[in-house]
Structure 1
Amino acid sequence: MRILVLSNYYPPHVQGGYELRCSETAAELVKRGHEVAVLTSRDNTRPTKTRLDGVEVHYGLHLEADPRPLRTALRFFLRRKRNEIGNQLLVEDVIAELRPDIVFIWGMWNVPRCVPYMAERLCPGRVVYHLSDYWSALPSAYCQYWEKSSGRRLSALPKRLIARPVLARLAQAEELHLRFQHPTCVSQAVKDNLVKAGVPIAHAAVLHSGIDVDQFRNIARTPINLGDENMLRLVYAGRLTSDKGVHTAIEAVARLVQESRTNVHLDIIGDGDSNYITMLKRLAGGQGTPLPVRFLAKVDRGQMPGILAHYDVLVFPSKWDEPFARVVIEAMAVGLVVIGTRTGGTAEVLIDGETGLVFPADDSVALANAIERLMNDRALWELLASAGRQAVLNNFTRAHMVDRFERYLQHVVAHDQPVPGGMAQS
């Protein structure tokens, strides 16, 4: 097949797991004999076209929002229409040049809707979506920018005054309705949430993500030892924002320390909201005596297997509906026990007492109790660690993921009709 992938970001510009899965899938499809090209956002620091892992990558799409708020405002007033027209022409040119059998659309947050709309118009019946976040239910990045209040006092009032007519103007603009004829979702949770939000994907197939298990299963781990003199090594790895619930993990450690369970240590790896991080560090300061909590800088994704191998338990206290948390299956693949909330797609991997332990979001007491269960029962730890790892090997490898995508794409090319969900998930 000749496959054209559309994605808001693509390596080396990576925002999160969505783009990583996209690039891994594209590279694997090339290895399987398919011709794959990617059209993604532009960056003046790199060539407009290059080849990565056998994939022809075109960097050219204009995004809406910029990390620097003032530039977003200027881009809206000075270049919005020009950029949208440029994006449409680019999609048209790339499709005319490559003549793909199928267009495979991944993350589109911050990309004008005219991009997937043009793909649907130019390749009717041959556009597949993989929805791994909630972009399809959200307003445009421009709308989100103007709806959000300014964090600076001096600019708050001017922005509020400008925002009213701008939002009215955006509301009057012609809305482009995407057909989503061939949608896939990374989890049942994402599908359910998008359907509830009114996105027309009730017929979507659920295609779970997978990881390259060879990077994880051969990692040498230090054996767990739960004697009185040894620490149960806990880790949180991810974004540090309130919706991730990291404060719950610190509160649970504080509770254990208060109960004289001092053989526990928590490392927090990542970066995020500076105000939230300040609050977390204050919480970790304890009541006069610092808690056994350490903050470590965000690490490169390629280092995660070796990093995780130094721990016994991944704490995953997220409060929001996670699409499908990659770190959970990575930790299981290494042989850690996961103690987490079952929000969003995590519930499709983390089963209480079978592949890990669960607790309600924001419930530090329940989390502390779950940690203590493992501290008191080495056999339970070994059982859960083994079952979690086996679940990943059986269902969540990269090979499984790409098999599912390949079958789905081939079915669309051959039949030009929605793929039966059961076939795609097998």
Structure 2
Amino acid sequence: MKGRALFVCNDATYFTAHRSHIAHRLLREGWDVHVAAGGDFSQLSSAFERHYLEVERRYFSFRNDLLLFLGIRSLLAETEPQIVHLITMKPIAAGAAALLTSSGRWAKLPRILVTFPGLGRLFDNRIWAYSIPRMIICRTLQVLFRNRNCHATFENSDDRDLFVRLKILEHRQSTVLSGAGVELADFRAARPQERAFRVLWASRLVRGKGLVEFVQAARMARASGDEIEFLMAGYADPGHTDNIPASEIDDLIRDGAVRYLGHVKDMPELLASVDALCLPSSYMEGLPRILIEAAAASLPLIASDVPGCREIVQDGLNGIILPDNSAESIYRAVKRLAQDRALATQMGSAALRKVYADGFDIGSIQDQMLEIYLGDR
């Protein structure tokens, strides 16, 4: 056994879908891998040593967050890992505090890695209620990153640059990766052309992802008599403060302007059946996985002008960056591609070239992560 690695994530389902391939790579490399998370463990591989944590994702709670801190601290003492990888904001904050108060084991940890899939609501200055938690977390991370063995990964350069400006860490202590890794070869372009133009919205059913505006754009298209099909696919996220309740989803789809597909497991098949992907998000995204998957399927990308989306969408080259998140802007972008299918095909080809050229594939991400774990960065 080369050593022991401990992953700490807020949600086991998220970890399984987006990060478990890195843990499996460590297993193959001879490491003993432990995964601690909240949520549903039914899909989490039994190849890992699994530890359940109670993680409150919706809001800050002194009691629940204290219990999370104590749980991680106890795990550090129990497992004595050589690598600690903290993923998503709550585990990062609680894990950093646990590491800083585990002084007896601090010197034994050769590598501490924190991964920010996106900064989310906590670093949104428009939400004043998060100002005090944000200040506390920033200070805790500043202290953590005084240790040379700490490294951070981000999914876009805007987030990394913000942390450098806030003096949380130094530039050399961070790496910007092209997402969490996608099996690009699973996706293909196989779209028939003798039908109405199809545009897809796919994400969690949370308000900040622009679903309401997407539906409004679909209603505009129908009122104008455009031959465009608007499709939406996704799943509820009750643990998220922005989750759209089922009753509101029913209202959005009742008039039939958008066809709701529910939670789709076979994304390669779905993406091969549409002509464009639209994500009008207002979130502080990391790097949305759906944009990478759509690019791998040779789809033109329509997205907001926000960090994360800008990492992959090149306006006018492989997609369209929206000037704002309004329904009118979404409608105009979709109609432009629907009226010029040659342009849509050209943009889709450029999107495919970008994801293969810029290291978005799962193998590239794994190789870079191993370098970070071993202190080669």
What's the TM-score once normalised by structure 1's chain length? 0.70
- Counterpart check, 1:35 vs 2:16: no
Cα deviations by residue, 1:369-410 (Å, 9 ceiling, x for unpaired): 221221221211111111111211222100111121122333
| Residue 66 of structure 1: how far off its partner (Å) | 7.7
Asked if structure 2 preserves the Cα contact closer than 8 Å seen for 1:103 and 1:123, the reply is no
Question: Cα–Cα, structure 1 residues 364 and 108, in superposed 2: closer, same or farther, change >3 Å?
Answer: closer
1:163-312 map, 5 Å: 177-179=143-145, 181-195=150-164, 199-203=168-172, 204-209=174-179, 210-217=181-188, 221-225=190-194, 230-261=195-226, 263-272=227-236, 278-279=247-248, 281-282=250-251, 290-300=255-265, 303-312=266-275
Report the AA paired with residue 258 of structure 1.
A
Cross-structure match for 1:5: 6
Name the SS for the 2:90 alignment partner.
Answer: coil
Q: Secondary structure at the match of 2:73?
A: helix
In the TM superposition, residue 136 of structure 1 has moved relative to its aligned partner by 12
From 84, 88, 97, the equivalent of 1:114 is 97
- Conserved? CA contact 2:199–2:231, under 8 Å: yes
Note the 1:339-354 alignment, pairs <5 A: 339-354=302-317
User: Over aligned residue pairs, what C-alpha RMSD do you find?
Assistant: 3.7
Q: For residue 410 of structure 1, what is the aligned residue in structure 2?
A: 374
Q: Distance in 1 between matches of 2:182 and 2:71?
A: 36
Partner of 1:63: 54
Cα distance change, pair 342–224 in 1 and its aligned pair in 2 (3 A): farther
Alpha-carbon distance in structure 1 between the residues aligned to 2:282 and 2:247: 19
Question: Equivalents in 2 of 1:366, 1:175: separation in Å?
Answer: 41
1:360 matched to 2:323: yes
- Where in structure 2 are the equivalents of 1:96-175 lying within 5 Å? 100=82, 102-109=83-90, 112=94, 113-117=96-100, 118=102, 121-124=106-109, 126-134=111-119
CA distance in 2, matches of 1:136, 1:37: 30
CA positional deviation for 1:175? 6.4
In the TM superposition, residue 320 of structure 1 has moved relative to its aligned partner by 1.5
Distance 1:369 1:44 in 2: 40
Deviation at 1:243, TM superposition (A): 1.0
| Pair 1:244–1:136, CA change in 2 (3 A) | closer
Residues 245 and 361 in structure 1, CA contact (< 8 A), matched pair in contact too: no
The equivalent position to 1:23 in structure 2, one of 11, 20, 24, is 20
Give 3-state SS (helix, strand or coil) of 2:19's partner: helix
Give the superposition deviation at 1:134. 2.8
**Does the aligned pair in 1 maintain the 2:192–2:273 contact within 8 Å?**
no
Looking at CA atoms only, which structure, 1 or 2, has the larger radius of gyration? 1
Cα distance 1:57–1:252, how it changes in 2: closer, same or farther (>3 A)? same
**What is the identity, as a one-letter code, of the residue corresponding to 2:54?**
L
**Distance change (3 Å), C-alpha of 1:213 and 1:36:** farther
Q: Structure 2 CA distance, aligned partners of 1:29 and 1:374?
A: 43
Q: CA deviation at 1:129?
A: 2.2
Residue 322 of structure 1 and its aligned partner are, at CA, apart by 0.8
Once residues 5 and 123 of structure 1 are traced to their aligned partners in structure 2, the CA distance between those partners, rounded to angstroms, is 14
User: What is the CA distance between 1:345 and its match in structure 2?
Assistant: 1.0
Q: 1:319 aligned to 2:316? A: no
Question: TM-score w.r.t. structure 2 length?
Answer: 0.79
Q: In structure 2, the residue corresponding to 1:270 is in which secondary structure?
A: strand
- 1-structure distance, mates of 2:222, 2:57: 44
Q: 2:299, 2:345 within 8 Å by CA — same for their partners in 1? A: no
Q: Which string of whole-angstrom CA distances, capped at 9 and with x for unpartnered residues, describes residues 341-361 of structure 1?
A: 131111010001111122133
Unaligned runs of 5+ in 2: 237-241
Work out the number of aligned pairs and report it.
Answer: 351
Asked whether the 8 Å contact 1:26–1:36 carries over to 2, the reply is no
**1:351-390 matched pairs, under 5 angstroms:** 351-390=314-353
Instruction: Kindly indicate whether the alpha-carbon contact (under 8 Å) linking 1:187 and 1:206 is maintained by their aligned counterparts in 2.
Output: yes
Pick the aligned partner of 1:90 from 25, 50, 75: 75
Q: Give the distance between the partners of 1:82 and 1:377, measured in 2 at CA.
A: 56
Letter in 1 for 2:286: P
| 1:122-160 Cα distance to aligned partner (Å, 9 max, x none) | 43552222222338967xxxxx9xx79xxxxxxxxxxxx
Distance 1:65-1:353 versus aligned 2 partners, 3 A rule: same
2:144 counterpart letter in structure 1:
L
